[in-house]
A and B are shown apart, each in its own frame.
Chain A
Amino acid sequence: MELVISQIHTLSTRNDGDLKKLKDFLRHEAESLKTNAHHIDQALDTLDPASHTLGIAFLLAAQLGAAVFADKRKTLVYVGNFLKAADEQQLKKASQPVSTLCRSYAQMAIEDGQAAMVQAVLPLRCAVEKLRPSAETLTPVHADFLRVCLKAKAYPFASPVLDQPIYDISMSNGSSSQMTPQSFLCYFYYGALLRIGMKEYQLALQMLLVVLTCPASCLSAIQADAYKKYVLVSLKAHGESQALPVYASHIVQRYAAINGYVQDLAEAFKAGDTAAMNRVAEEKAAQIQADQNTGLVKQVVASLQRHKVQLLTKTYLTLSLAEIAKELGIEESKTAEVEELLFDMISNGEINARIDQITGNVSFEDDSEDMDSAMMEKMQDKLARILELASRLASFEHEVASSEAYIRKVATLEAELWWGAFPLGAVRGRSLYVGSLAEQCDRQLLRLDARAPRYSLDDHGSARNFFPSLPLLLLSRR
């Protein structure tokens, strides 16, 4: 144990080589650290979170992994402080132990109750921010962070992380890939739940779609659950269950075709049949409860009336309260109920209408969104975002087009095409030529230089006489 501590002290420098050495050493010692877990508390006292981040990360990972604590509360607080104070550079190097550390930390915090969870939110966010290689890369800690936010009901704390679009996953460290499909799916699933909690249904749908379109060769329970939520949320937000994109894996598509209570609900919703929806919700209550969708289903049922009212605004200019009640399937005498609903919708800005209480008439008005500078700004924003995406795509394309594998494939395809045009044995000395051609191709591809091959092919005078179109063909297609 002393040896470990002294190594940490001496090797915790700004020097990359030293840190690498320390990391290898600690990884080697991982087992012995675990057996000595009860000494770790003492050892930690002699170390400074900021300068000895790498070492502490390994020690804490071992301690939490072995689950031996003198005082659990104290450890939790210590880990929290450590994550806040840790040095970013060193933390990135210790991504693996930090990931395990954060997982156990999150688990412990959740087990410990509300207070611990709230305390854990901020440290975990620090960990996320420090650990990710770039802002748009996902790490396993992301999922743990969201899980704690969700459990602690601290929804707004998650927004800075959620607002950051994710484009890549952290798959560094070569052999030991740290992202597991599970934590990937969990991040987006939890993210969607948080968005639903914040009533940002559109964004929630987007996150659920990521879960559903993740490449899959077998169905994950997370995806199955996500699909149910997807249908329910899209019913609530759009009034219809939207089809999955074509690139969703066929496993998920097949699952979507299986009948379940969500399909029944969607159908009843489409038919505008409140009674049928209530019936489904009642019959399948146990299942819905098991999926923890009770609240969502209730919201969907309630939103049916709102959707109907919204449709009415598109059809009618004026309508009496009694008639609205009839359309909604409420008893005609209960105009007060309708009035309340309309009042609520008008004040939420869901519809644009005026109620004339004396005559009992409602007049629906056209949406009058102000068309001014705010609109221009919105447009500009969108445009900027799309341009950013476009440049991202362009760089992707460039990467693909200049990758060796792609060029090789295209070149072979073209060569096949070209050779196919000439019958075997039609050309004298062809076999000799084939060898040199392949070599030329390789050289040409690696160099990516258009002029070199033309020059070298000129050297094969005979070949050029036979196939005057060859250089052109190879070059023009590039």
Chain B
Amino acid sequence: MGSTILIDDLETYIGQYGTHGAIQRLQFIASKTEQVALKTEATKLRLDLLKRTTNCKGYSSCYAELKELLEGSSTAVPPYDSVWVEATQGQASKLKDLYEQDLHQAKVTQIKDSIRTCHTQLTGLCTEQGDYAGALKYASKSREFCTEPQAVFSTCMTIIKLSALCRQYDDIQSFTSRAHHTPFKDEASQSKICAAYGLYYMATGKYKEASFSFAQVKQQDLGSTFSDVLCAQDIALYGVLCALASLDRNEVQSKLLDSASFQECLDLAPSIRDVALDFCNCRYAACLTSLERLKEGLLLDVHLHGQVADLCLQIRSRGIVQYFAPFISVSLHSMAEAFNTDVDGMQSEVASLVGKRQLDAKIDSHKKILHVRHANQRTATYKSAMRVSQEFANSTQALVLRMNLLKHDFGVHVVRQKK
């Protein structure tokens, strides 16, 4: 997807998502990008999409943004639809009154299911108006009135959707696990749960779990209800990035590339599939170059934005570690070539990896050669034994003294004046 965020493709890209998801992404792109053209395009598209909802506030503010952007340029500002705004506002407030009356009535009758339905109606209304926080409130209330597992599940899904729109990833986790524990689910629901889990893990930096979750998602099961959160291409993209950052080559091959269901997702995003294939076939230079090319686009992804730098760094270090694994010694020149950088850059990268103990090697900076470290087991064992015994002796001694202090009830205490 990443590279497809070009101005002409923006419409196709955004077309995969549901209205709300699209609005969220467009807003994010407009706020992060430096390119004015892209910004304008995103804002324009958002304005159109907002008109499909009843979000008048969003419409007005989006219009103001667009006006500011187009100021001074030759393009004409589209007309402001004040009739629509007024009509929608009126209708919305009427609907709200109506729904709240319904809710009141339902509460009087004390029929659980109708209370839940009223809450759901209000949730839908708030969502349409772009008030996701308010919608979340109604949705979590409606959960208390669920009587059937199906209802519980659908409420959880609504909450997950709304949390994703608000980017509250912690809530995603708790409600995904609730949804996961409701009985009588079909396979399609399982895919959604996995996708939601994956999103949560990725946002919190647990890439390994994230990649496993994404790998279990089946593309056709995701359906339209989940399109406000993730689309199949996202699954492929997120899954591959997380896997490259956390798994080794064999695992990437077996868990992702050889998995039939994930393959379908991958085929939708050929660019990221090539990255994964390059990585698995040890073509690190190609892999990292295309990753670098994708990076700009990735930074504009609403869920991925915070993780991109970390992910890319980890993929790179993983590549270096795996590249070095079969060698006893290797020239930094050839390594630099393989990773598309110069010798000095390579050396400092390797040095930082060694410093972090991810790479057990030593650098011969004079001859520019990287050697595997020959650890002297005997010395190391002796040293660690000495260290542990010293620590043990010290702490035991301190504790014996402390025990005696406690026995005497001795310590730094406030001196109480005797009355």
- Known A-B contacts A206-B394, A316-B351; A171 and B408 likewise in contact (beta carbons under 8 Å): yes
Contact B398 A213 (CB under 8 A): yes
Known: A167-B397, A371-B378. A386 touches B389 (CB 8 A): yes
**B397 close to A315 (CB less than 8 A):** no
**B355 and A323 contact, CB distance less than 8 A:** no
Selected from A184, A323, A371, the residue in CB contact (under 8 A) with B410 is: A184
Using CB atoms, name the residue of chain B closest to A399. Answer: B407
With A314-B354, A371-B379 as known contacts, state yes or no: A217 contacts B398, CB within 8 Å: no
Identify B362's interface contact among A181, A213, A247, A317, CB under 8 A.
A317
Check A320 against B400 for contact (C-beta < 8 Å). no
Interface hit among B155-163, B207-215, B267-275, B365-373: B365-373
Please tell me if the beta carbons of A166 and B401 are within 8 angstroms of each other in the complex.
yes
- One of A25-33, A260-268, A275-283, A361-369 at the interface: A361-369
CA distance A185 to B389 in the complex (A): 26
The number of residues on chain B lying at the interface, defined by a beta carbon within 8 Å of a beta carbon of chain A, is: 39
B385 to A, closest residue via Cβ: A379
User: Which single residue of chain B is at the shortest CB-CB distance from A366?
Assistant: B376
- A375: interface (CB < 8 Å): yes
Q: Is the CB of A223 within 8 A of B412?
A: yes
Contacts of A383 in B (CB 8 A): 389
| A393 contacts chain B at the CB level, 8 A cutoff | yes
CB <8 Å contact, B413 and A181 = yes
Asked whether B412 lies within 8 Å of A165 as measured between CB atoms, the reply is no
B6 to chain A, nearest CB (A): 40
Known interface pairs A167-B397, A367-B379. Does A179 touch B410 (Cβ–Cβ under 8 Å)?
yes
Q: Mark B390-410, 1 if CB is under 8 A from A, else 0.
A: 101111111111111110101
User: How far is it, in angstroms, between the C-alpha of A314 and the C-alpha of B413 when the chains are bound?
Assistant: 47
Number of interface residues of A (CB under 8 A): 54
- A382–B393 touching, CB < 8 Å: yes
Distance in angstroms from A324 CB to nearest chain B CB is: 9
Q: Are A167 and B404 in contact (CB under 8 A)?
A: yes
B396: chain A residues at CB < 8 Å are 386, 389, 393
A210 proximal to B (CB < 8 A)? yes
- Flag whether B327 is at the interface (Cβ < 8 A): no
Min Cβ gap B400→A in Å is 5
Contacting pair A315 B362 (CB below 8 A): yes
Q: Is A253 an interface residue (CB 8 A)?
A: no
CB distance from A132 to the nearest CB of B (A): 14
Q: Are A361 and B366 in contact (CB under 8 A)?
A: yes
Closest B residue, CB atoms, query A168: B404
The reply to whether A209 and B398 form a contact with Cβ atoms under 8 Å apart is yes
A389 to chain B: which residues have CB within 8 Å?
393, 396-397, 400
Q: Are A386 and B414 in contact (CB under 8 A)?
A: no
B405 touches A316 (CB 8 A): no
Query: Is B325 at the interface (CB under 8 A from chain A)?
Result: no
B101 to chain A, nearest CB (A): 53
A372 and B194 alpha carbons, distance in the complex (Å): 59
Instruction: Tell me the A181-226 residues at the B interface (CB within 8 Å).
Output: 181, 184-185, 206, 209-210, 213-220, 223
Interface check B64, CB cutoff 8 A: no
Q: How far is the CA of A210 from the CA of B410 in the complex (A)?
A: 13
**Cα distance A393–B412 in the bound complex, in angstroms:** 25
CA distance A392 to B399 in the complex (A): 11
B245 touches A (CB below 8 Å): no
Q: Which residues of B contact A181 (CB under 8 A)?
A: 410-413
Residues of B within 8 A of A316 (CB): 351, 362-365
Bound complex: CA of A371 vs CA of B413, how far in Å? 50
Instruction: Take A213-B402, A382-B389, A392-B400 as given contacts and tell me if A315 and B363 are in contact as well, using a CB distance cutoff of 8 Å.
Output: yes
User: Could you show 23 A-B contacts with beta carbons less than 8 Å apart?
Assistant: A167-B401, A169-B408, A171-B410, A184-B405, A185-B412, A206-B394, A215-B402, A216-B412, A217-B411, A217-B412, A223-B412, A314-B362, A315-B363, A317-B363, A318-B364, A318-B365, A318-B367, A369-B379, A371-B382, A382-B386, A386-B393, A389-B396, A389-B400
Residues of B near any A CB (own CB < 8 A): 351, 354-355, 362-367, 371, 376, 378-379, 382, 385-386, 389-390, 392-406, 408, 410-414
Q: Which 4 A-B residue pairings sit nearest by Cβ, starting from the closest?
A: A215-B411, A216-B412, A318-B366, A317-B364
